Amino acid sequence: MNTQIIPLYARPFKDLTLDDLPLVGGKNASIGEMVRELSSKGIRVPDGFAITADAYHHFIQEAGLDRVIHEILSGLDTRNMANLSHRGQAIRHAILNATIPGDLEESIIEAYRDLNHGTYPADVAVRSSATLEDLPDASFAGQQETYLNVRGNRALLDACKHCYASLFTDRAISYRVDKGFDHFQIALSIGVQRMVRSDLACSGVIFTIDTESGFRDAVLISASYGLGENIVKGTVIPDDYCVFKPTLKKGHRPILSKRVGSKESKLVYDDGGEKMVKNIPVSTAEREKFALTDDEILRLARWACIIEDHYSAKHGHPMPMDLEWAKDGKTGEFFIVQARPETVESLKDPDVIETHLLKARGKILASGRSIGAKIACGRVRIISNPDHMHLFQDGEILVTEKTDPDWQPIMKKAAAIITRRGGRTCHAAIVSRELGIPAVVGIEQQAFALKDGQIVTVSCAEGDEGFIYEGELPFEVQRTNIRNLARPLTEVMMNLANPENAFSLSRIPNDGVGLARMEFIISNHIKIHPMALLNYENLADPAAKAEIARLTANYDDKPAFFVDQLAQGAGMIAAAFYPKDVILRLSDFKTNEYANLIGGKAYEPDEENPMLGFRGASRYYHPLYQDGFALECQAVKKIRDEMGLNNLKLMIPFCRTIEEGLRVQEEMAKHGLKRGENGLEIYVMCEIPSNVILADEFCDIFDGFSIGSNDLTQLILGVDRDSEIVAPIFDERNPAVKAMIAQAISTCRARGRKIGICGQAPSDYPEFAKFLVEQGIDSISLNPDTVLSATLVIVETEQQHEQSRRV
């Protein structure tokens, strides 16, 4: 046998680098790069070989296919889908009926034998790798096919021909035309890689950038049971995990979020079947569990950082990556099976912020995972399979079970995409990002609420959850170039509640977060009263107990659910703005609000005036809530110590007296949160007249103040801000309120303590922001939608103040 021909047409991965991209395509060159350069750093990649682009040209020419393809594609119009389908089918038929040249066949079989290492025949994955695929500016997402659990010479050669044919699927032809690529300048290499037995474990996708906001310090991991094709094709809704890179690299464990997916089926070996793989259902118990442990999540995140750092150094600029991983169920080992550049968010202009704002909400028809941070209105068009694509009209909203590359000719005509299945790394999500249109994926059974032809609004601009509203709702699009935006001396911070918006909002020029509201995380992410979790076994309300059991299905230790969810929610905000200050206000529900939490009624007293009752600091050391406050402290300690986010600072709300402030700090110290240790700063809300009158004494026990102008105004003016009758009297610009605020600022400046404001007034009234600057306030924390406009006002005020001072 003439083995000299093997180097011409088959190259072991270990002999390839990124420099070999013209020879073996982006996918195979990248695998070779990892095998050669990153194995020593612990990155494991399954063994295999690449069939070169030269082999493709050799096959096409020897079989006389080049002339055939030219003739079939002559005069092609990709907008004529029937004609496109006819031509594509003719080319594929010609390729599959052609004969592979003998020297190429021998080359492939010899490389396959070398891969077997005496255990012939090996089960392999056969993947295409186009020479213009997986480039930083051309993703070719899912254009060519993958064949799994391929065994034996005949099966391998047949899979190779199918890979060659997949270069001329309808969607691949259309995609190349749209992108301006010449069909005959692109060749196909094939990767032949040992299978990882993830059919017995799990697999998934990793991005080293947040795919919705472009936030670059996050690693996103998706995981589902079985072989990985189900996630990519959107067949399942996977688990999602988010890890923060900067503190991960310092040795911390910063898992910012964990979201269990339905994982309803898994792709496994089907040795007796025609396709060699099959989907089988997953048990309910397995679906409710996370597919990965925390240690496994962190291991994959560390690998992702190593890979990203290597590729960034290789290219000389940041290179966010899109990776595929698999866990072997026989050995427990993890492997990276593919690596490519991320090609959507990483290429956007970081200086331009585009914000979609929904002006009014309506009836929610369905909701799912939000993709794209945009809003679109249009007519619903429900299409069950690509055979009915001719029914779809430009600007309609595509609703279907899931998409694959066959759908791309109509996806590019859609105003938005809605799928019943899929997660943030499924085909519909990837393509919608590339097209710049919103998508809501994984709406599951809610899909039946959507009717063909009805007008809806698809909103992906409200955080992690995307909504489909009935009718056409008003919205606006704001585009802001922040490149030359002047920065004031006064710190401009943000008020934030929803962790899901933190990554995107952090792009707005800012000096950190002046108020992170814990209440939103508790009411929207936890939903359960902490005392009900602590006393779960003894709960008298069977309905509450059942609902708690459902929400905490992954937790035998019910209080740990509260700690983890709170740590992840507040940690997400701290990470988004790291290393800038993020000031977390400890819980400030009123008793009636606490009672509305699941299981809460049993633990909250009835009060005539909850606004002035059992709230804020007075709860933290009281026996009725003391143990619940301990869980809040444990969550904060987890953020600062385990996640390494020591930019998180704490703020005590509604602290009426000096003695109360000291008692709260004593309570916090019991749980490892001692002021001054590990840089911990503790602030107090300045929202009660006593905070202003006794500001000098409060300065002795706190590191700073944040003015809560809403409560301070109502208590100074004696106005219930919730009363419609006296509402007109409520005004933060009242001279009495401004005098008290000026006094607080003056005292803090004299004592060298920080003072800011996190109330609503400077967001609503530009003149109030001017007043604060003139008084010398250190920071102004604003609602995100007013940060840019208020910054301009503050800069102008500072300039005017400086000019008048000089005069």
Q: Where are the beta strands (DSSP E) in 482-539?
A: 491-496, 513-517
Residues recorded for the chain: 807
Alpha-carbon distance of 802 to 807, in angstroms, equals: 9
Contact 740, 717 (CB under 8 A): no
**Cα dist from 711 to 141, 299, 535, 716, 761, whole Å:** 53, 46, 33, 9, 11
Cα–chain center distance at 563: 21
The span from the CA of 513 to the CA of 518, in Å, is: 13
Per the annotation, the verdict on 427 as an active-site residue is yes
Cis peptide before 320 (omega within 30 of 0): no
696-732 CB burial, b ≥16 within 10 A, e <16: eebbeebbbbbbbbbbbbbbbbebbbeeeeeeeebeb
Question: How many CB atoms within 10 Å of residue 579?
Answer: 12
Of residues 162, 310, 427, 529, which has the active-site annotation?
427
Interacting residues of 713 by C-beta distance below 8 A, sequence separation 6+: 719, 721, 730, 731, 732, 734, 737, 761
Q: Could you tell me which residues are beta bridge partners of residue 327?
A: 334
Q: How far apart are CA 441 and CA 361, in angstroms?
A: 20
Neighbours of 318 (CB within 10 A): 13
CA distances (Å), origin 798, targets 136, 508, 772:
44, 21, 11
Partners of 457 in the beta sheet? 377, 469
Q: Calculate the CA 85 to chain-centre distance.
A: 36
Catalytic, 758? Answer: yes
Catalytic residue among 163, 305, 686, 758: 758
CB 31 within 8 A of CB 125: no
Listed residue (22, 405, 7) closest to 187, CA to CA: 22
The CA distance from 716 to 506, in Å, is 34
Instruction: Point out the residues that are catalytic.
Output: 427, 758
